[in-house]
Amino acid sequence: MTNDAPKAKRWRPWAQPIHWGVDLAMAIPFFLLETAWLVLDWMLGLGLEVWAAQGKRDRIDAAALAHIGRVQVLLIAAFVIGTLAGVFRARWTAIAHLLVALLAGGVLLVVQHQWDRSHTPPGCIRYAAHC
């Protein structure tokens, strides 16, 4: 009678869900940090730069474009971290990052809409082919 040796288990991080305490310990600080960064960047990054420009249109435009770029980076980072959390089966972390991605997408939508409204070409007829 032969006894087969037990097979070594392969540990894969996505094989079992992460413990809910660890998941919440990662989700809550990340959500608060990313949301606070988004709000503070809007107030301090864009708001103070527009205030410091004192009506100079080129500096205001540069600040708005820099803000759009920073929000796009946050949106990509939230999607990447949310995807990794989903792969590692950290449900609450994935949900928190998807909420931040939705928030960043909404902010990006508003900022780009403001940019488009303030930068229409002069003399452009609405609904014309060249506009």
What pLDDT is stored for residue 81 in this prediction? 93
Q: For the chain, how far is it from start to end, CA to CA, in angstroms?
A: 84
- Residues 57-88 pLDDT 10s: 899 999 999 999 999 999 999 999 999 998 88
What pLDDT is stored for residue 9 in this prediction? 62
Nearest alpha-carbon partner for 30 in 92, 76, 112: 92
- Please report, for residues 27, 34, 68, 87, the alpha-carbon distance to residue 104 in angstroms, rounded to integers and kept in the order given: 17, 9, 10, 22
Q: What percent of the chain is helix, strand and coil (3-state, nearest 5)?
A: 70, 0, 30
What pLDDT is stored for residue 124 in this prediction? 63
Distance CA 106, CA 28 (A): 21
pTM summary value: 0.77
What pLDDT is stored for residue 125 in this prediction? 61
What pLDDT is stored for residue 8 in this prediction? 58
**Residue type at position 86:** G
What pLDDT is stored for residue 1 in this prediction? 56
The list of the chain residues with pLDDT below 70 reads 1-15, 120-131
What pLDDT is stored for residue 16 in this prediction? 76
Which stretches does DSSP call E strand in the chain?
Answer: none
| DSSP state letter for 19 | P
